[in-house]
Chains A and B, each alone.
Chain A
Amino acid sequence: MDTDFFILMKQELLVTFIIFLLLFIKIGRGLKNETLLPLIQLLLLLNFIAGFFFNKEGSLFGTTYTTTALMAFQKNILSLGTYLISLLCAGWLRKSAHLPEFFMLMLSALLGMFFMISSGNLLMFFLSLELSTIPIAALANFDLDKKRSSEAAMKMILSSAFSSGILLFGISLVYGATGTISFAELPAVLNGTHLQVMAFIFLFAAFAFKLSIVPFHLYTADVYEGSPIAVTSFLSVVSKGAIAFVFIAALYKVFQPMHAIWYNMIVLLSVVTMITGNLFALRQQNIKRFLAFSSIAQVGFILVGISSNSIQGQSAVVFFILVYVFSNLAAFAVAELISSQTGKESINDYKGLYKTNPFLSWILALALFSLAGIPPTAGFFGKLFLITAGASKAAYWFIIVAALNMMVSLYYYLKVVRAMFMDKNENPVEKIKIDTTVKLALIICGAGIVLLGLLSWVYDYISKLV
């Protein structure tokens, strides 16, 4: 073993180091939340910054662990998301009695995602997927005195156990049909026999579960609604981003020989997912459920990009997820602030919010416009690139459906904007107190939403990595 081990795995090692540090703090004398939280935030920031230095490509343990510049960047996006969550949810976290445990679990999940992105065979992939899922189920239960939170955790653990079963079955079929589980060797032996197609469908279904693609989305809204918002935003942004990165890598690299088969599946599921997500989002009154369904519809758009089977499609997806981190986290953060200080979560309660909380209203409006894909926000560029990539196959009806779905989604995003800016309310939400950290994080998100698209070098950087 030489220094390669430390350099190639530095992101994973750093996260592991933070987890152990927290563990020692917990079993040692312990620290007050007032000092611990800034420490954790600082560590996460360092973790994010360190991800940009000393990057090297290579593999370890045979090909079980591989890393590339793109993978390092994807991990950085996830680190960024985690860091932002630690800032945005500071108000809720500070009151928590189990702060070290919360971050130990969250960082374990993050570690699992890192390994998942870097995994070089199906076994490693399965192990890291489990590592990234089970801690989240525990996190979902973190509102210990709330019944809904336990219910969410239960649903999460049951549905992920189910999808793990399907995944394992798929893996065993892959091994049976081809005799290998290594991602490097699989493309050469895949030739589209019926058994291989069946194995692929099982794998695909497991991915669909994690990404909450319709018809595997049914657990999403309940879990999102029941979990604490810090966990919901981690689930919907970081966790989903990680799975999407791996999904696209698996389809483009490993299952490339079968692309005629998965192209049709992706197109069909994309249309169904967009339409279902949008139609359900139209009717939601609870802001968390609303964001849950809108995030299902967003996954439908990610599939549009994936369907292109091109380098441009991949860079569009990575860019979209980077943008999505900022916009979705900002939206969830505003919902969290209002919910934790007033207990109000219904869209009707947001009526007249602009009168009392102009700053929060503008941030939420920006985030929603970005999710809807309205310029000049970065979401516009993200969505447009996804659709442009998807259009390369010249399937007009598919692109028309996607474009019209953008219109439908605008309707419900505007519903929230209308409530905040236009509707009158006798007793609107009172003035919300915002910490400096939270305010800073909201401003970072707002700046990210506005600037990521206009500064075209961000996208150029990503497209050079892919």
Chain B
Amino acid sequence: MNLLLLILIPLATALAVLLCRNRQQVRWVSFAGAAVQLGLGLALLFLFRKETLAGNTAQMLFQQTYNWFPSWGISFHLGVDGIAVAMILLTAFVVIAGVLVSWKVEKMTKEFYFLLILLSLGAYGFFISLDLFILFFFLEIAVIPKYLLIGIWGSGKKEYAANKLALMLMGGSALVLVGMLGVYFSIQDRTFDLLRLSEMKIPAVTQMICFPLLFVGFGVFTALFPFHTWVPDGHSSAPTAGSMFLAGISMKLGGFGCLRVATLLMPDAAKEYAPYIIVLASIAILYGAFATMMQKDLKYINAYSSISHCGFVLLGIGMLTKVAITGAVMQMVSHGLMTALFFAVIGMIYERTHTRQVNEMGGLMKAMPFITTVLFIVGLCSLGLPGLSGFVAEMTVFMGSWQNPGMFYRIATIVACMSIVVTAVYILRAVGQTAMGPIKDEFKNLTDATWNEKLAAGILLAGILAIGLAPFWLNDLIAPGAEVITNKLTGK
């Protein structure tokens, strides 16, 4: 399959959006583009499975290389492994849902969809690039659309949140840049090519300096404690689709980068720094969970719980076993789908009740049964109910963590497990207060979900259920990619 399509389709969609004459055209063009993306994502999944079942064990499939700034050793090198396929699929799901829930955006519709699609372009490019330079290029492409989406279409303290997010993410990418250049100059041939770099032995001194730079740099994107502070502000101020993209796709760029760049290239330093990662991840998991308990605003609840959930991703990576890393990637996919759906539902509720405060709602089940049912399902997924994706992912992380002998790892695992209880408390309380109890008079005439909202929720729910009920396909997809990394760690 030609991976370039994953960049060209969003680009063509974005340009087509600019040419549209009215709102209706903009919506349908974006929807068509997103649908093609989803089709491409699914096609990629099937073709990838076909290749692997046919016995193709290459580390990266569908590779393509084009010349780009050859004098710096940069090449436009594309390729995917199972991890990337999973992330691309996640992106395609979130994009189409995001386009659907934004159907009612009235203010500067054309610009809104243009930026939304640009954001997805950055994510696709990031996941398929096998060259550090273009990886960085796509990582940064997404910063400005996020800034504008929050600043123009957001609510609350939007300017502050937009600024904070743009600056913190830029700071993160500055660290990534320095780490990347350190790696680039540490070896004799000047190349940014990830596969060639991963075959070479990067000197230990460079590893010890560059690993923390890269890990923390990418960590900022995925809410690594203590660099998580942009998450609550950014997510709660963003428009619905913006929050979905931020939490569903953008935060995953960080986790993917930690794995693909930091851990794969510098396994020795990864082993050295793993305990610190585990400590920070455990703090994020617990701190996020307890901070969520105190929140009254639905969006803040989901934002803080995202910090906690993304902590599992970092915990899995820090544990450095094959199962734990597989679990971390599963958690990225699962959290992406779940949190996007959560934000979508919050958006739907807010659009009708004009409040996000939990204590001002109540009994919404009677007025909008579809929306509240979805809210229940997504809440249960968040607290890790078996049969839904959250359980599968978190369970895999715990199993992988437990494989590590030693008191330290056991304690970290138990601490992380404890957060599930806290999660149950805040999720049940929030969902219960919103949906159950007597309904207020002013909410009685509210309407239920429209077709586009139902379709968006249905698509994301399908993803959650597909992972929850049949986790093996995702596991088969991710595990070989995780194995490559653990093989590097054990020096095979």
Provide a sorted-by-A list of 7 A–B residue pairs whose CB atoms are within 8 angstroms. A375-B141, A385-B72, A396-B182, A396-B209, A410-B166, A410-B167, A411-B167
Pick the contact of B147: A384, A399, A414 (CB < 8 A): A414
Q: B438 contacts the other chain (Cβ, under 8 Å)? A: no
Q: A126 contacts the other chain (Cβ, under 8 Å)? A: no
State in angstroms the CA–CA spacing of A376 and B143 once bound together: 11
B136 to chain A minimum Cβ distance, whole angstroms, is 8
CB contacts (< 8 Å) of A252 on chain B: these are none
Q: B408 contacts the other chain (Cβ, under 8 Å)? A: no
A460 touches B70 (CB 8 A): yes
A375 touches B140 (CB 8 A): yes
Kindly identify, within residues 150 to 183 of chain B, every residue whose CB is under 8 Å from any CB belonging to chain A.
Answer: 151-152, 158-159, 162-163, 166-167, 170-171, 174-175, 177-178, 181-182
Q: Provide the A202-215 mask, 1 if CB < 8 A to any CB of B, else 0.
A: 00000000000000
The residue among A369, A375, A463 with the most chain B CB atoms within 10 A of its own CB is A375
A374 touches B140 (CB 8 A): yes
A418 touches B151 (CB 8 A): yes
Kindly identify, within residues 418 to 466 of chain A, every residue whose CB is under 8 Å from any CB belonging to chain B.
Answer: 418, 421-423, 456, 459-460, 463
Q: Provide the A367-389 mask, 1 if CB < 8 A to any CB of B, else 0.
A: 00100001110001100110110
Dominant SS at the B interface? Answer: helix
Q: B148 contacts the other chain (Cβ, under 8 Å)? A: yes
A411 touches B163 (CB 8 A): yes
Task: Identify the stretch in A48-56, A108-116, A241-249, A400-408 within 8 Å (CB) of chain B at 4 or more residues.
Answer: A400-408
Q: B67 contacts the other chain (Cβ, under 8 Å)? A: yes
Return the chain A residue nearest B69 by Cβ.
A456
Dominant SS at the A interface? Answer: helix
With A414-B166, A456-B68 already in contact, the answer to whether A403 and B174 are too (CB < 8 A) is yes
A376 touches B171 (CB 8 A): no
Q: B472 contacts the other chain (Cβ, under 8 Å)? A: no
Return the chain A residue nearest B147 by Cβ.
A414
A459 touches B152 (CB 8 A): no
B64 to chain A minimum Cβ distance, whole angstroms, is 16
B170 touches A387 (CB 8 A): no
Q: A391 contacts the other chain (Cβ, under 8 Å)? A: yes
State in angstroms the CA–CA spacing of A423 and B152 once bound together: 9
Q: A76 contacts the other chain (Cβ, under 8 Å)? A: no
Return the chain A residue nearest B73 by Cβ.
A388
B174 touches A422 (CB 8 A): no
Q: B71 contacts the other chain (Cβ, under 8 Å)? A: yes
Return the chain B residue nearest A410 by Cβ.
B170
B171 touches A421 (CB 8 A): no
State in angstroms the CA–CA spacing of A410 and B136 once bound together: 17
Q: A66 contacts the other chain (Cβ, under 8 Å)? A: no
A406 touches B181 (CB 8 A): no
B152 touches A422 (CB 8 A): yes
Pick the contact of B178: A400, A422, A460 (CB < 8 A): A400
Pick the contact of B181: A388, A417, A418, A456 (CB < 8 A): A388
B153 to chain A minimum Cβ distance, whole angstroms, is 10
Q: B137 contacts the other chain (Cβ, under 8 Å)? A: yes
A422 touches B158 (CB 8 A): yes
With A391-B181, A411-B167 already in contact, the answer to whether A421 and B174 are too (CB < 8 A) is no
